[in-house]
C-alpha cells in the first residue's frame, strides 16, 4: 500500500493598508487555493512574517508604522528568504529599482491586471519551492519533499505530518523563540489547545535527541542542534 504524503498549504501574506485592495487580494488568492493572512501596516506585517512561514509575501510600498521598503529590509536581515512581490502605485524606473534593490523579487504597479498578478505570484512560488527542497538543521538537514531529517552520519529519520510541520516552523527562523501559543496557531490550528505543542516537542526529541528543540524558560521553544 502506498502512503500518499499530504501537500502543505501554500501561504501568502498580504501587507496592504487599502482595505478594499487587501480584501480583493484575499478573496482572489483564497480562490486560487492559498491560505492568506493580511496586515494593514508594516508593524503587523513584520510580526506575522517573523512568527509564521509564508511561500510569498505581497507588500505595498507606502504603509503606516513601517514603510514597505524598510519592512523588506528588516525581513531580509532576519534571514527570511520567502519571495517578495511589491505591489504599489509608485511606478517610475527609480521606484522599481529601489524596490528590487531592497530585496524584492518582483514589482507590480497599481492598477494591475488580475490574471498577470496571479501568474507572477504562481511563478514566484514555483521558483521558491524548487529552490528550497531542503532546510538546514545545524549539521543535519530537513528534506521538505520526503518529510525526513537527514542526519550528519547519513541516516534518515522519518517524521509524522505534525512532527514535520512543527520542526519546519522552528527551522524556518532558527534564532526565533516561539511561545506555545505561536506554535499552536502555526501548526495545530484545528487541534485542541493545551499540551499538544509540548507533546509533539517530546516526540521530536524522542526521534532526534533532546538537543533538537530547546526550551527557553518563561518564553517557549526554539530550534536546537543535532
pLDDT at 133: 64
Local structure of 88: helix, strand or coil: strand
Candidates 2.60.40.2250, 3.40.50.720, 1.10.10.10, 3.30.300.210; CATH matching 134-223? 1.10.10.10
pLDDT for residue 9: 62
State residue 145's pLDDT score: 67
Fold adopted by 10-131: Rossmann fold (3.40.50)
Q: In angstroms, rounded to a whole number, what is the distance separating the alpha carbons of residues 92 and 137?
A: 42
For residue 5, what pLDDT is reported? 33
Beta strands in the chain (DSSP E): 10-15, 34-39, 56-59, 84-88, 106-109, 134-137, 140-143, 148-150, 156-158, 213-216, 220-223
User: What is the pLDDT tens value at each position of the chain, 226 positions in all?
Assistant: 333 333 456 889 999 999 999 999 999 999 988 999 999 999 999 999 988 888 899 999 999 999 999 999 998 887 787 889 999 888 888 888 888 888 888 998 988 899 999 999 988 887 776 555 667 777 788 877 678 888 887 788 999 989 988 998 888 788 888 888 888 888 887 655 568 899 999 999 999 989 899 999 988 999 987 7
Helix axes 161-172, 196-208, angle to 10 degrees: 90
pLDDT at position 130, please? 59
In the chain, what are the domain boundaries?
10-131, 134-223
**pTM to 2 decimals?**
0.59
**Which pLDDT score is estimated for 3?**
32
Determine the pLDDT at residue 4: 32
What's residue 200's pLDDT? 94
pLDDT at residue number 132: 57
Backbone angle region of 80, left / alpha / beta, with phi > 0 → left and psi within -120 to 50 → alpha: beta
- Nearby residues of 78 by Cβ (< 8 Å), 6 or more positions away: 50, 173
- List residues bridging with 148 in a β-sheet: 143, 158
Q: What is the pLDDT of residue 22?
A: 94
Amino acid at each position: 500500500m502506498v502512503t500518499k504524503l499530504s501537500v502543505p498549504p501554500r501561504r501568502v501574506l498580504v501587507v496592504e493598508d487599502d482595505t478594499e485592495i487587501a480584501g480583493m487580494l484575499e478573496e482572489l488568492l483564497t480562490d486560487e487555493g492559498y491560505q492568506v493572512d493580511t496586515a494593514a501596516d508594516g508593524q503587523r506585517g513584520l510580526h506575522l512574517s517573523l512568527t509564521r512561514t509564508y511561500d510569498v509575501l505581497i507588500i505595498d510600498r507606502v504603509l503606516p508604522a513601517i514603510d514597505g521598503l524598510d519592512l523588506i529590509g528588516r525581513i531580509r536581515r532576519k534571514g527570511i528568504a520567502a519571495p517578495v512581490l511589491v505591489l504599489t502605485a509608485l511606478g517610475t524606473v527609480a521606484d522599481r529599482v529601489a524596490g528590487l534593490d531592497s530585496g524584492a523579487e518582483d514589482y507590480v504597479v497599481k492598477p494591475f491586471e488580475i490574471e498577470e498578478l496571479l501568474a507572477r505570484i504562481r511563478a514566484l512560488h514555483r521558483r521558491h519551492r524548487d529552490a528550497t527542497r531542503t532546510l538546514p538543521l545545524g549539521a543535519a538537514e530537513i528534506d521538505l519533499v520526503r518529510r525526513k531529517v537527514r542526519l550528519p552520519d547519513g541516516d534518515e529519520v522519518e517524521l509524522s505530518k505534525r512532527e514535520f510541520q512543527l520542526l519546519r516552523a522552528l527551522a524556518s527562523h532558527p534564532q526565533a523563540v516561539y511561545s506555545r501559543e505561536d506554535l499552536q496557531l502555526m501548526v495545530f490550528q484545528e487541534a485542541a489547545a493545551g499540551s499538544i505543542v509540548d507533546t509533539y516537542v517530546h516526540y521530536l526529541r524522542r526521534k532526534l535527541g533532546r538537543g533538537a528543540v530547546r526550551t527557553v524558560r518563561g518564553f517557549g521553544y526554539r530550534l536546537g542542534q543535532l
